């Protein structure tokens, strides 16, 4: 394997750094913070550098390479028109410190995006600041906290989450200082209203929930759950991770939610973060709007000189909500992510409802295709549905429990076998309530042919013997990783041969 840092060529090769503006003594750095020796940067020429990264990209697997049914992650295609918009020079070259009168175009896009997101979720106000779904969750529960403090309800310290919730829900609430109460799901994976009733009270601050839930099931009792929580004075939080399934059909607002976060990369489109720039705006109902982080974009009629600089009949300004919780991100969130998503939303408009319907249709079709092919191949006894339902939403779960029990083949083995077939594996071992779980989400951008082929290949993997599958994958650049070893023996810097 070629390693960039091993290319420690001759002095003078590669890119020359300009001289430093200030010398070390002029910088006045404390001596304990100064480098003891020069860093060992690789010395590479431009073609060597290009080859290195091209080589790396060929070892990568992404939605642009093949089918990526990673459940819960909504790995859909990113239309390239998004990139065109985001890279328009007038947008891409903006500096966040530029004054308002130079940013009217961008601010109008921000305003429109706030409005569009509010409309589709049935909310009244939106902030585009949070840069990830989990940060959106944290921002929203902080708004809840300020809301209760404002009402003098300091005793509301508990946040309720179902046991099938995304792990970030309890984590966000705990970070804001709330206590967590977990409630068990019913056997069919849906919310247990009796358990909810048993835990709500005057100490209830909020309930956090996704709908459809992590099993891909629509929570039919959601309105009832909302009124149980509202009746004791609590608030409802909608985790937007699965919003792709219901867009345009219903909305969190209609279900009684007070706040929601949007995963722009899942429900709309923008490349998935992987630690890079993401975006997790939140929307809230009117009673929570005064607590949103600052700034959000507002508009008014232009006056005086503004009339000449306005891009339409309004003047857009940064606005600080009255009782704001403060800033949650430097500058104005990740503008690039917002712009890509705005381009996508503008491209589809009301057709987003069709998009969402296709996501649900594809998931249901794939589920039935897998059962159909499994029957034909005689491997239908090796897995069962993770949830007992006729119709799933945008994703579905299978339990490989029977394969594990009869043949010693685990969900992880099947996932690794799928890698050998040229697919990204579905999500495994989540949600935790399904044993040997495999969670599959094809998204709306895949064709029927892709789904049919995947269903056949999935069954081919199940026909392999246990020993072969324990050793899979064999065709990938890296063979099966010992995840336990990797998690326990972290290697965080390049080990040089002479060290």
Partner 1 sequence: MRIGVVVNPDAGLGGRLGFKGSDGRAKEAREAGAVDRSGPRMQQCISKFLDLQQSSLNRMGVNPTFVAWTGRMGGDWLDGVDYEQRQPSPSESTADDTAALVLDLVTANVDAILYAGGDGTTRDIVNALEGHETPLIGVPAGVKMHSGCFATTPNAAAEVLLAFLQGDLMVAITEVMDLDEETYQRGEWKVRMYGEAWTPSSPRFMQGAKEQVERASEAETIEGLANHIGNLIEDDPELMVIWGSGGTLRRMGEHLNVELTLLGIDIQHKGTVYADLNEAALLEHLTTYDGPRLLLLSPMGGQGFLIGRGNLQLSPDVLRAIGLDSILGVATPSKLLGLSSVRIDTGDVTLDEEFQQRRFVKLLQGYRTTRVIRVLEA
H helices present in 318-442, as ranges: 335-348, 352-377, 401-407, 411-420
Binding mask 249-278 for partner 1 (x = CB under 8 A): ------------------------------
The neighbour count for residue 141, using CB atoms within 10 Å, is 24
Contact 123, 284 (CB under 8 A): yes
Q: Is 465 in the site for partner 1 (CB under 8 A)?
A: no
Q: What is the DSSP string of 137-177?
A: HHHHHHHHHHHHHHTT-TT--EEEEETTS-THHHHHHHHTT
Q: How far is the CB of 435 from partner 1 (least distance, A)?
A: 11
Q: Is 130 helix (H, G, I), strand (E, B) or coil?
A: coil
Q: How far is the CB of 247 from partner 1 (least distance, A)?
A: 21
Q: Is 188 in the site for partner 1 (CB under 8 A)?
A: no
Could you say which of 484, 491, 492, 495 contacts partner 1 (CB under 8 A)? 484
Q: Is 430 in the site for partner 1 (CB under 8 A)?
A: yes
Could you say which of 123, 183, 260, 414 contacts partner 1 (CB under 8 A)? 183
Could you say which of 38, 487, 491, 492 contacts partner 1 (CB under 8 A)? 487
What is the distance between the alpha carbons of residues 167 and 37, in angstroms, rounded to a whole number? 43
What is the distance between the alpha carbons of residues 139 and 2, in angstroms, rounded to a whole number? 43
- What pairing do the DSSP bridges indicate for beta strands 315-319 and 179-183? unpaired
Q: Which residue has the tokens 């509301």?
A: 156
What is the distance between the alpha carbons of residues 317 and 263, in angstroms, rounded to a whole number? 25
Q: How far is the CB of 404 from partner 1 (least distance, A)?
A: 11
Judged by beta carbon, residue 367 or residue 404, the one nearer partner 1 is: 404
Judged by beta carbon, residue 126 or residue 409, the one nearer partner 1 is: 409
Q: Is 198 in the site for partner 1 (CB under 8 A)?
A: yes
Q: Is 73 in the site for partner 1 (CB under 8 A)?
A: yes
Q: Is the dihedral of CA 314, 318, 322, 324 positive or negative?
A: positive
> Which span sits near partner 1 by CB under 8 A: 29-37, 165-173, 228-236, 308-316?
165-173
Q: Is 408 in the site for partner 1 (CB under 8 A)?
A: yes
Using CA atoms, how far residue 439 sits from 16, 172, 318, 430, in Å, is: 49, 24, 42, 7
Size of the site for partner 1 (CB under 8 A): 36
Report CA 37 to chain centroid distance, whole Å. 40
Could you say which of 48, 100, 153, 182 contacts partner 1 (CB under 8 A)? 182
What is the distance between the alpha carbons of residues 100 and 315, in angstroms, rounded to a whole number? 9
Q: How far is the CB of 181 from partner 1 (least distance, A)?
A: 5
Q: Is 470 in the site for partner 1 (CB under 8 A)?
A: yes
Q: Is 154 in the site for partner 1 (CB under 8 A)?
A: no
Positions in the binding site for partner 1 (CB under 8 A): 72-73, 163, 166-167, 170, 174, 178-184, 194-195, 198-199, 408, 412, 427-430, 432, 439, 467, 470-471, 482-488
């Amino acid at each position: 394997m070629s390693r960039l840092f091993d290319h420690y060529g001759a002095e003078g090769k590669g890119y020359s750094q300009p001289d430093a503006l200030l010398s070390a003594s002029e910088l006045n750095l404390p001596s304990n913070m100064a480098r003891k020796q020069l860093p060992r940067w690789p010395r590479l020429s431009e073609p060597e550098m290009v080859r290195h990264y091209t080589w790396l990209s060929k070892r990568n697997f992404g939605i642009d390479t093949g089918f990526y049914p990673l459940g819960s992650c909504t790995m859909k295609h990113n239309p390239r028109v998004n990139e065109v918009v985001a890279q328009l020079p007038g947008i891409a070259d903006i500096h966040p410190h530029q004054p308002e009168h130079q940013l009217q175009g961008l601010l109008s896009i921000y305003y429109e995006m706030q409005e569009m997101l509010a409309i589709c979720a049935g909310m009244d106000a939106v902030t585009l600041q949070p840069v990830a779904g989990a940060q959106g969750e944290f921002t929203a529960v902080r708004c809840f906290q300020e809301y209760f403090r404002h009402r003098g309800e300091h005793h509301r310290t508990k946040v309720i989450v179902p046991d099938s919730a995304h792990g970030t829900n309890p984590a966000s609430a705990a970070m804001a200082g709330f206590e967590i109460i977990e409630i068990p799901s019913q056997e069919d994976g849906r919310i247990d209203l009796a358990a909810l009733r048993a835990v709500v009270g005057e100490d209830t601050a909020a309930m956090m929930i996704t709908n459809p839930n992590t099993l891909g099931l629509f929570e039919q009792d959601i309105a009832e759950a909302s009124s149980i929580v509202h009746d004791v004075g609590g608030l409802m939080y909608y985790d937007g991770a699965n919003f792709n399934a219901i867009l345009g059909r219903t909305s969190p607002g209609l279900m009684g939610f007070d706040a929601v976060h949007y995963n722009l990369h899942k429900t709309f489109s923008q490349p998935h973060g992987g630690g890079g720039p993401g975006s997790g705006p939140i929307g809230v109902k009117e009673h929570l709007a005064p607590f949103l982080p600052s700034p959000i974009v507002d508009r008014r009629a232009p006056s005086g000189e503004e009339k000449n600089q306005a891009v339409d009949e309004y003047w857009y300004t940064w606005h600080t909500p009255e009782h704001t919780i403060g800033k949650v991100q430097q500058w104005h969130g990740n503008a690039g992510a917002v712009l890509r998503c705005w381009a996508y939303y503008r491209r589809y408009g009301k057709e987003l409802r069709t998009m969402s319907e296709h996501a649900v249709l594809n998931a249901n079709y794939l589920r039935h295709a897998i059962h159909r092919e499994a029957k034909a191949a005689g491997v239908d006894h090796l897995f069962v549905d993770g949830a007992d339902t006729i119709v799933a939403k945008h994703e579905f779960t299978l339990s490989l429990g029977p394969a594990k029990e009869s043949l010693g083949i685990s969900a992880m083995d099947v996932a690794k076998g799928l890698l050998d077939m040229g697919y990204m594996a579905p999500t495994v071992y989540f949600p935790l309530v399904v044993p040997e779980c495999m969670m599959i989400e094809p998204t709306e951008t895949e064709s029927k042919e892709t789904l049919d082929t995947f269903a056949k290949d999935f069954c081919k993997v199940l026909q392999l013997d246990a020993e072969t599958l324990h050793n899979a994958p064999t065709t990938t650049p890296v063979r099966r990783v010992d995840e336990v070893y990797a998690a326990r023996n972290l290697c965080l810097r390049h080990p040089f041969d002479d060290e």
